[in-house]
Every structure is written in C-alpha cells, then in structure tokens.
C-alpha cells in the first residue's frame, strides 16, 4: 500500500513539474496549465497541494540557473494559481502551504535563493484570506513578519527590495508601528536606490501613512538618484492636497520651493512626475481645476519669499488649463483681489508675451488704472485704515504679497514698451507712490520692497536718469530727517563725524541709564524710551543703507553717482549695528565696481575691515567678498604701480587703452595696495577661525581660478592650498556640517575646473604634486587621500575636449553612478577597451595621448621616493603607482624613466625595490622597451635638480602657514591585531539624513 502511495506521489510531482516547465518556457497557455493543476483537487487527489509545494521547492533549488524572465513568469503563475484556487474552493490553503514550505530557506547561503523566497512572499501574501483571524494564522503572520524583518537588512540589495515589498502588507503607517519605523529608517539610510524607490512605491494613500512617511517622502524629492525622486513625487501625489498642505504648515515646510525644485529638476522623468502630481492629482483631482483652491493654502497668510517659485507653478497650471480651454485667461479682477488671482494674472501676462500668438494688451490694464490699483495696495499695506478706491481685497493681510507681485509686473510693462510712452501725469503719479513706499519702514524687515521699488523707479526714468537720483535722494532725505539724533543736534548728511560721536554718547547714556535704573536714580520708562529711540534710528539707518545699496545695484559703469552715497556708507561703516555696517561695506564695493576711480581710494579701507578680526566676523566676511569681487573685475595687476607707457586710444586698441586708463586712474601710487600684499592678506585669512570669513576666502579663490584671474606664477600654489584644505575637510567631515559643506563645494569646483580645459587639468596635477610633497612626510593617510583625489581628477577621460570626441564611449568610464571600487578594479582594461571600441578610436587615442597627465604625476611620486620617505609614505606611493596610474601617452618620457631609475637606486627595502623594478619594467614594455641609454638627452640631471629645488621651496612656504593643517600621523598599534578594511560609504547614491536641511519659510507676523 505504501509503495502505491509513493508511486502516485511521484507521478503527481512529475506531472506538476512538467506543467511548470511549460509555464517557464511560455506563459501563452498558462490558463490551461492552471486548470490541469486544479484537477488534482477535483479528482480527489489528497496530495495535489503537496506535489505543487514539492515542485516549488525543486524550482527554488534551481533558481541560480534560471533567467529573470523565467522567474517573472513563475511568480506570476503562482499568483494566478493561488487566486484561482481561493476563488474556486473558498480557501487559501494552497497559498499558505507554498509559503510555509519556502519559509525555512530565507536564510540560505545563495543570495538568489533568498531573493526567490522573498519574491514568493511578495507574490502570494496579498492573495491570502484576510478574514481568517485564527490563532494559528496569526502565528504564521508573525513568523513571516519576523523573517521579512531580517531580510529587509539583507546584504544583497535585490533581497532587500523584494522583502520591502512583502513586509509592506504588515505595516499600519503610524509612528508606533515597528514595521513602519524600520521602513522609514531604510528609506533614509539604505545605500541602494531601488530599495528606497520600492519603499516609496509601497506607501498607500491613507492619512496615517502620511504621518509616518511625510518627512521621508520630502527628503526623497532631493535624492541623488532620479528614479527615487520621481517615485517620491508619485508617492506624495496619492494623498489629497489638503492633507499635504496641512502637514507642510505643521512642519514649517515651503511647498512652493519644493514644487519649484521638482519642476526644474535636471532629469526629465522627475519633472514629468512632479508636473503630474501638481496638475493631474492636486489641481484636477482634488481642486476640480480651481487654481485658487490650489494656491490659497500655500500663499494666503504666508509671506512669499521668492516669486520665481510661484511663477513656475502658475505657468504649469496655466499650461494645463489652456490644454482644456485654448482661450483660457485670468483677467485682473479688482472686485475680488487676492494673492492667487494676481499670481495667475502676472504669469498669464508673461506667458502671453512669450507666445507668438499671445495678446498681452487684453490682460494688461492701462497704466493709469494700474497706478490706481498700486496706490490702493500700497495704502492697504502702509495705512491699513485707509479706504480702497478701486480694489476690493479678499484678505487685506495679504497686501504685502500682492504689492510684491504688482511691483514685479513693472518688468512686463517695460518689456512691452508701455513705460517708454507713458504720459508725464501717470509717470509722476507712479514715482510719487514709489517714493512713498521707500519711506515706509517696516518693523519686522527694513529691507522690504527696497530693491523692487528702486528697480521700478529705474524703469520709469530710463530716459531721464536725473529723476531717479532726485526721487531716491528725496526719499533718503525724508528718512534722514526722521532720525531722532540729527533732529536733536541739527546735523546733516555731511556731518558724519559729529553723528558718530553723538551716537556713541547716546549709547553711553543708555548704559548709564541702565545702571541708574538698578540703583533707583532713574525710571524704567526713561530707559525704555531711549532704547526705543536708538532701535528706531537703527532701523531707519538700515533702510537708508539698503536704498543706497539697491540704487548702486541697479546702476552701471559710467553712471554719475551722487555725493550723498559716499556720506551714507561712510556713516554706515562707523555704526555699531552689524547689518548697517555690512550693507555699507557692500555699497562701497558696488561704488568701486561702478566707478574705477574709487578703487584705489577705498581698497585700503576694505582690507582694513577684512582683517578686523573675528569679533566683527560678518563685516569682515562682507569686506573679503567685496575685495575678491574687485579683483575679479579688475585683475590683480590693476593694484600694482603702473610703469608702462600710456597707450593711445584708437579703434584697434580700444580694449588695451581702457585697461591702461583703469590702471592709471589712481593718481597717487601710495593708494595702490599691490597684488602681492593683496594675496598675502587673502592667504592669511585662510587661517581665520571664523567660518564665514574662511568660506568667503575659499569661494573667492574658486571664483578667481574659474575666471582666470590668478597669475600663472602662483596658480599652483593656490590650487595646492585648496587641495590640502579639501582633504582636511574630507577627513574631518563626520558629524560636522561645515566641513561637509566645504567638502562638497570644493569637490564640485575641482570637477568643473579640471574638466573644462587641458591646461587647467595640467595645473591641477602639478599642484597635486606640490601638495603631495608637503603631506607625505607628515601624514601618509592624508597623502593617500590626496593622491587618490589628484589622480582621479587628472584622468584625461574627464576632459570636455575628450568627452566631445565620443560622449557615449567616454560616458562608460565616467559614469557618476558607477561603483568606484568596481571601476578601480577594471582600471586600465576598461579605459583601453572603451578607447579601442569607440567609433572615433584613432582620434580618441590621439587626444588621450596629447593630454595624458598621469605620467607627470608618476614623475612626482617617483621623485618623492628617490628623495627618501618613511615606510608608510613609501607604501602609499607604491600603491598609487601600481593601482591608480593610467598612462595614455604614446611617446616615451625620458624624465619618467630617469625618476624611476633614481628611485630604484635609492630604495633599500628589497620588497619595495622589487615593486619599483617591476614598475620600471612595465613602463619600459609599454614604450617599446625604451631605456635611458637610448636617449641623447643630457639635461635630465639638471631637470631633476630644478624639480627637487622647486618642491622644497614650496614646502618651506607651506610649512610656515599650513603646518597645523595636517594632523600628526598615528603610529599603528603593536597589539597583534590585523588591519581590517573599513567599508566606505558611497556618496553617489546615498541619501544621508543629516546632510539634508529642510527648507524653511518666513513666518508671518
């Protein structure tokens, strides 16, 4: 009897196995195979389910040999079979049996088996009978959940991805749910982009899930991988707009900025996903195509910090509405004046102006009516009690937002020629309104509307610049007369010294009153009154400085600058208020940019402010930025004494004559600080303890290098300093946001700089050799990080001129999302294969040979070895020579062989000597068995001496200034512990929670 049962079982397993084999070949007849499998139950076969489970286990063992398409058909067939079984028999016995039989193999050694197990759970868990709440079933669910919790942390990414999809059915979405907590943590920390994308894909559209995942979804809109960013927008779009806005308001998140970033993403798929979320879901599905219902939750009651964000959003809304109704327009309805209406009206005007068949005259009201609307808005903002004559505001608290939009619409009138043909009455009315707006000093933000109002005045008075000066001067005069200190002592603009002296006396009087209040000799009211007077004067002074700054910002070279500007920022520089001093310093810099005659007069003052110390860090940082801007505009030689003959002006040498005139503008050479002194000050500021000053200097040097404003004689020194600072930041960026910021900033600059031009890459390589010489004797680990950076960015494959030869082929080498470790392992073989298989192979190889720099770097490394190094430093150099050198040059370089020979002769360690000899043999074979004996170059010893002398000279310069930058090397412990390789966190596709700072919006008062 047992033999008969065994034979029947074997027969059933064999039949089921054949059916599954047919399914694996093709899914065309899967329905017929499914019916045949279910016939086991209809025929009363008791072991039908057991046979299916046995076959599933057999297939599980063969998973490593199966293709992805076969597995896809296999899991799809299992899903359909389980669904049909449940529909036919009203039981999920087959599903549970299959899951139970594969569950023990979740921890198999083979990663493909583990992936197949979690894929089976992913396919079948959603087909179980959820109404079955028996204790046995709950125990099985608990066992499955515990297994999947282990697998979501599997070391193999596809296992984690499928495990995430499976375990998602067990989460509730709330923050107290253990599964949700683990998935949120994975969403922020998993290094694999597909795992993060799968977590986002599994978020259902229920309110409780928004509570748990909101921050994670917002973070993922900034992910480094585009498919994760696109999936995050899809996940957000599942939730109603009212929920999104409510959570954004509670979390102080600027949704307008978030949408703008999505709509302007560099990847088209992300833009499409964001646009679909905005228009198809939130506008159409939730708002029923009502733009006001969409915009009001993010603009009403909030201060709009950036109009460009809303302009982009409104343009997308208009495009969507115009697809449904071609003649859709948003007129300026004064009967229901709101922020959303004015935003859409302005965007509609801009869109009509940009389109060929658009008619902006239908949307733009006449300037006299626009002046009336502007007047009501300004008075509603400045005088809330004033009655509006033309406009009926839906919400008077939004007058500041509406005013900002109306002022920005002046550019539309200007570009369409309305302002050039406006009548004098309307122009005077508009100038009067803008003059009044400049005199309004808000308590919260004295800079409000200053730049916009001055720009509008410039647009209105383009043909009569004297009216601009007159209007701005009148506003400044009114504000100055409102100051209590000049009123009290009858002082004017030009009485700067007296104003500063009286201001200091008033500060001393305030301190004296504070002491007297404590002793009872004075009242608290007198102290508060004087304090309020000082604060009011500081706000008015800041408004005055900002008006001058805006006036100069909208001026250009050749414009006449009124004398009052000099008095204003001279007064501002001597104040105690930091914001006033910063604005005055920037105004002074703008004056020097507009008027070259002022540069040599005010440059010593700016340098004095720049070196004033850390107690005035904000002012010093502003002064440093201004100094770099002036060097960027005029060049370093401009600050040296002119010794050449004057160039006569003619049509052929107009540019040289202009440069000569700018150099001779300063009549007294004593004012010229000199380029060497200027650079020495900049180098000294690199050691400032204030991060603002230091970051400004770093950014300034990057600007000068990008604009070719650094002299060729010192460019290597500047780049070497930046490289040393970069490695220092890179090694100390953990748990330090400032170091992380500077690391990212310098890395972005170096990548752009080295890829832009072959000469720049060559300068970078030579600077790397100088920095390496300084670092090797001090800290080998520091030197190792440095040489890795230099060799990676000195690869000729990075150059734009090489990339343009065959972008597709070069892109295989320079893939930013590729695994760096794998790329290093492939090394030269990958580059050679790409170059030889390219359609432009000959040209690509010629360009690579022409711009190859690793030979130069190898010469520097070999020179370091020949001079003498510590064992650790020698190991760093040898590792770099063996693993990081990509030689593309076709012609041999005698100096490279000379340096290698000197290094072999110098090194005493036999193992190191063997490695060097192997390297020398390798490069000899590469260049057709080239040897030094075959060359007639007798200048190699002198070139060697000059090379070493130059490195030692740079080393002495850096030792004095940057000696403390590189930490002392740590001696390895002698406890017998073996060194283990630390796993490096890849930054290319890693979403770091701590490195993401959520956007903030200004709160409304």
DSSP 541-602: HHHHHHHHHHHHHT--TTPPPPHHHHHHHHHHHTSS-HHHHHHHHHHHHHHHHH-GGGHHHH
Give per-residue pLDDT as tens, 764-778.
999 998 888 888 888
The pair of structure tokens assigned to 573 is 């520089």
**pLDDT greater than 50 at residue 116:** yes
The pair of structure tokens assigned to 161 is 């991805």
| Cα dist from 431 to 370, 552, 573, 946, whole Å | 13, 18, 30, 69
**Which residues fall within 8 angstroms of residue 22, CB to CB, at 6 or more apart?**
29, 33
**Which residues fall within 8 angstroms of residue 812, CB to CB, at 6 or more apart?**
830, 834
Are the beta carbons of 195 and 160 closer than 8 angstroms? yes
Q: Give Cα 790 distance to the centre of its chain.
A: 23
**pLDDT greater than 60 at residue 758:** yes
Q: How confident is the model at residue 641 (pLDDT cuts 50, 70, 90)?
A: low
| Cα dist from 641 to 630, 644, 663, 664, 708, whole Å | 17, 9, 8, 9, 21
CA distance 539 to 531: 13
Secondary structure element (H or E) that encloses residue 813, with its range: helix 807-813
**pLDDT greater than 60 at residue 1004:** no
Tokens 């940082």 map to which residue? 621
Domain boundaries, the chain: 1-170, 360-480
CA distance 96 to 85: 12
393: helix, coil or strand? strand
Q: How confident is the model at residue 887 (pLDDT cuts 50, 70, 90)?
A: confident
DSSP 736: -
User: In 290-423, where does DSSP find H-type helix?
Assistant: 291-299, 307-324, 339-354, 367-382, 399-408, 410-415
Q: How many other C-beta atoms are found inside a 10 Å radius of the C-beta of residue 686?
A: 17
Secondary structure element (H or E) that encloses residue 306, with its range: none
CA distance 493 to 378: 28
CA angle 961, 585, 448 (to 5 degrees): 130
Q: How confident is the model at residue 654 (pLDDT cuts 50, 70, 90)?
A: low
Q: Record the pTM.
A: 0.78
Give per-residue pLDDT as tens, 316-365.
999 999 998 888 889 888 888 899 999 999 999 988 887 766 666 678 89
Q: How many other C-beta atoms are found inside a 10 Å radius of the C-beta of residue 525?
A: 9
The dihedral built from the CA positions of residue 796, 799, 802 and 807, taken in this order, carries a sign that is positive
| Cα dist from 116 to 37, 70, 83, 155, 183, whole Å | 22, 12, 20, 15, 21
Burial class (CB in 10 A: 0-12, 13-18, 19+), 482: middle
Closest CA to 758 of 816, 804, 718, 806: 804
**pLDDT greater than 70 at residue 676:** yes
970 against 725, higher pLDDT: 725
What average pLDDT does this structure show over 253-273? 94
CA distance 154 to 148: 10
CA distance 954 to 952: 5
The pair of structure tokens assigned to 428 is 């005077």
Output phi, psi for 393, to 5 deg.
Answer: -80, 135
**Which residues fall within 8 angstroms of residue 374, CB to CB, at 6 or more apart?**
403, 406, 430, 433
Give 337's strand partners.
393
Output phi, psi for 328, to 5 deg.
Answer: -70, 130
Residue 975, CB half-sphere, CA atoms under 13 Å: how many? 3
| Cα dist from 477 to 378, 474, 548, whole Å | 21, 5, 12
CA distance 612 to 581: 13
The pair of structure tokens assigned to 379 is 């008075």
CA distance 983 to 821: 11
Are the beta carbons of 479 and 536 closer than 8 angstroms? no
Are the beta carbons of 925 and 883 closer than 8 angstroms? no
Give per-residue pLDDT as tens, 455-510.
999 999 988 888 999 999 999 999 998 888 888 888 777 778 888 888 888 889 98
* pLDDT value, residue 487: 83
Output phi, psi for 485, to 5 deg.
Answer: -65, -50
DSSP 982: P
CA distance 645 to 382: 59
* pLDDT value, residue 660: 65
Q: How confident is the model at residue 309 (pLDDT cuts 50, 70, 90)?
A: very high
DSSP 494: T
373: helix, coil or strand? helix
SS3 content of the chain, % helix, strand, coil (to 5): 70, 0, 30
Which of 31-35, 166-170, 275-279 ranks highest by mean pLDDT?
275-279
**pLDDT greater than 80 at residue 626:** yes
CA distance 365 to 984: 62
Give 393's strand partners.
337
The pair of structure tokens assigned to 956 is 């002495």
User: In 90-206, where does DSSP find H-type helix?
Assistant: 93-102, 111-124, 135-151, 157-167, 178-189, 193-201
* pLDDT value, residue 759: 92
| Cα dist from 799 to 31, 75, 547, 753, 851, whole Å | 57, 47, 45, 10, 9
CA distance 19 to 23: 6
CA distance 346 to 363: 9
* pLDDT value, residue 834: 57
Closest CA to 628 of 657, 613, 606, 658: 606
The pair of structure tokens assigned to 823 is 């790329």
CA distance 344 to 334: 14
- Give one word for 423, left, alpha or beta, with left for phi > 0 and alpha for psi -120 to 50: beta
The pair of structure tokens assigned to 581 is 């001093």
Are the beta carbons of 783 and 873 closer than 8 angstroms? yes
Are the beta carbons of 696 and 628 closer than 8 angstroms? yes
The DSSP annotation for 212-274 comes to HHHHHHHHHTT-SSHHHHHHHHHHHHTS-HHHHHHHHHHTT--HHHHHHHHHT-SSHHHHHHH
Give per-residue pLDDT as tens, 27-74.
787 788 888 887 766 555 446 788 888 888 888 888 888 888 989 998
Give per-residue pLDDT as tens, 952-995.
776 666 666 665 566 665 443 333 333 333 333 333 333 332 33
The pair of structure tokens assigned to 559 is 């414009």
CA distance 201 to 203: 6
């Amino acid at each position: 009897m047992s033999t008969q049962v065994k034979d029947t079982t074997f027969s059933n397993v064999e039949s089921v196995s054949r059916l599954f084999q047919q399914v694996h070949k093709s899914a065309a007849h899967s329905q017929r195979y499914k019916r045949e499998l279910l016939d086991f139950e209809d025929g009363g076969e008791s072991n039908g389910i057991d046979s299916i489970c046995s076959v599933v286990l057999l297939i599980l063992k063969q998973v490593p040999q199966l293709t992805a398409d076969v597995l896809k058909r296999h899991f799809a067939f299992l899903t359909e079979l389980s669904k049909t079984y449940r529909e036919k028999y009203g039981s999920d016995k087959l599903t549970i049996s299959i899951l139970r039989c594969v569950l023990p193999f979740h921890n198999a050694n083979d990663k493909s088996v583990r992936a197949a197990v979690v894929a089976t759970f992913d396919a079948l868990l959603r087909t179980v009978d959820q109404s079955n709440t028996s204790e046995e079933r709950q125990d099985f669910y608990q066992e499955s959940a515990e297994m999947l919790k282990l697998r979501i942390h599997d070391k193999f990414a596809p296992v984690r991805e499928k495990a995430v999809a499976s375990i998602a059915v067990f989460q509730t979405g709330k923050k107290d749910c253990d599964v949700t907590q683990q998935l949120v943590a994975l969403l922020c920390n998993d290094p694999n982009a597909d795992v993060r994308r799968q977590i986002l894909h599994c978020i259902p559209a229920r309110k409780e899930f928004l509570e748990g995942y909101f921050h994670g979804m917002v973070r993922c809109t900034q992910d480094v991988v585009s498919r994760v960013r696109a999936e995050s927008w899809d996940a957000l779009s599942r939730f109603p707009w009212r929920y999104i806005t409510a959570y954004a308001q509670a979390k102080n998140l600027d949704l307008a900025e978030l949408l703008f970033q999505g709509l302007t993403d560099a990847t088209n798929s992300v833009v499409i996903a964001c646009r679909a979320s905005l228009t198809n879901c939130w506008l159409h599905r939730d708002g029923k195509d009502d733009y006001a219902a969409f915009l009001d939750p993010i603009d009403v009651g909030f201060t709009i910090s950036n109009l460009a964000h809303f302009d982009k959003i409104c343009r997308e809304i208009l495009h969507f509405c115009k697809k449904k109704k071609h003649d859709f327009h948003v007129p300026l309805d004064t009967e229901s004046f709101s922020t959303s209406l004015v935003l859409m009206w302005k965007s509609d005007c801009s869109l009509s102006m940009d389109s060929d068949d658009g008619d902006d005259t239908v949307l733009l009201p006449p300037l006299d009516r626009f002046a009336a609307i502007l007047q009501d808005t300004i008075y509603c903002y400045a005088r809330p009690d004033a009655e509006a004559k033309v406009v009926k505001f839906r919400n008077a608290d939004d007058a500041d937002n509406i005013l900002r939009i109306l002022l920005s619409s002046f550019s539309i009138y200007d570009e369409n020629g309305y302002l050039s043909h406006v009548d004098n009455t309307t122009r005077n009315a508009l100038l009067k309104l803008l003059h009044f707006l400049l005199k309004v000093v808000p308590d919260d933000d004295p800079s409000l509307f200053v730049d916009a109002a001055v720009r509008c005045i410039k647009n209105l008075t383009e043909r009569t610049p004297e009216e601009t000066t007159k209007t701005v001067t009148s506003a400044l005069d009114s504000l100055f007369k409102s100051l209590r200190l000049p009123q009290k002592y009858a002082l004017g603009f030009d009485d700067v010294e007296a104003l500063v002296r009286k201001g200091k006396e008033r500060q001393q009087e305030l301190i004296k009153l504070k002491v007297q209040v404590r002793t009872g000799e004075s009242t608290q009211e007198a102290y508060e009154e004087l304090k309020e007077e000082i604060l009011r004067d500081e706000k008015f002074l800041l408004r005055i400085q900002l008006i001058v700054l805006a006036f100069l910002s909208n001026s250009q070279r050749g414009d006449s600058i009124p004398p009052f500007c000099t008095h204003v920022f001279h007064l501002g520089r001597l104040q105690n208020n930091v914001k006033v001093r910063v604005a005055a310093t920037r105004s002074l810099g703008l004056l020097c940019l507009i008027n070259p005659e002022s540069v040599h007069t005010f440059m010593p003052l700016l340098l004095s402010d720049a070196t004033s110390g850390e107690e005035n860090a904000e002012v010093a940082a502003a002064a440093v930025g201004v100094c770099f801007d002036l060097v960027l505009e005029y060049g370093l030689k401009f600050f040296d004494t002119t010794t050449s003959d004057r160039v006569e002006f003619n049509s052929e040498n107009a540019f040289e004559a202009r440069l000569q005139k700018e150099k001779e503008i300063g009549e007294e050479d004593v004012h010229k600080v000199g380029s060497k002194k200027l650079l020495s000050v900049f180098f000294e500021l690199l050691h400032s303890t204030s991060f603002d000053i230091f970051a400004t200097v770093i950014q300034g040097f990057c600007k000068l290098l990008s604009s070719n404003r650094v002299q060729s004689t010192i460019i290597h020194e500047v780049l070497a300093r930046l490289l040393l600072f970069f490695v220092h930041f890179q090694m100390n960026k953990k748990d330090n946001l400032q170091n992380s910021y500077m690391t990212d900033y310098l890395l972005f600059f170096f990548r752009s700089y080295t890829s832009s031009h072959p000469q720049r890459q060559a300068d970078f390589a030579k600077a790397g050799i100088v920095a390496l010489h300084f670092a090797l004797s001090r800290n080998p680990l520091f030197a190792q990080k440095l040489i890795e950076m230099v060799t990676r960015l000195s690869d000729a494959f990075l150059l734009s001129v090489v990339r343009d030869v065959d972008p597709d082929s070069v892109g295989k080498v320079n893939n930013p999302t590729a695994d760096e470790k794998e790329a290093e392992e492939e090394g030269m073989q990958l580059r050679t294969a790409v170059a030889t298989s390219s359609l432009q192979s000959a040209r690509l190889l010629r360009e690579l040979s022409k711009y190859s720099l690793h030979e130069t770097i190898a010469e520097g490394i070999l020179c370091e070895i020949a001079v003498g190094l510590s064992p650790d430093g020698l190991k760093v150099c040898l590792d770099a020579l063996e693993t990081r050198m990509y030689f593309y040059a076709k012609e041999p370089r005698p100096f490279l062989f000379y340096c290698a020979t000197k290094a072999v002769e110098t090194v005493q360690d036999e193992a190191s000597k063997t490695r060097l000899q192997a390297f020398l043999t390798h490069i000899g074979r590469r260049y057709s068995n080239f040897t030094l004996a075959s060359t007639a170059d007798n200048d190699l010893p002198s070139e060697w001496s000059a090379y070493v002398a130059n490195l030692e000279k740079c080393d002495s310069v850096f030792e004095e200034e940057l000696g403390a930058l590189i930490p002392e090397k740590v001696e390895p412990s002698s406890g017998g512990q073996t060194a283990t390789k630390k796993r490096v966190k890849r930054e290319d596709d890693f979403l770091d929670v701590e490195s993401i700072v959520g956007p903030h919006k200004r709160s409304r008062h």
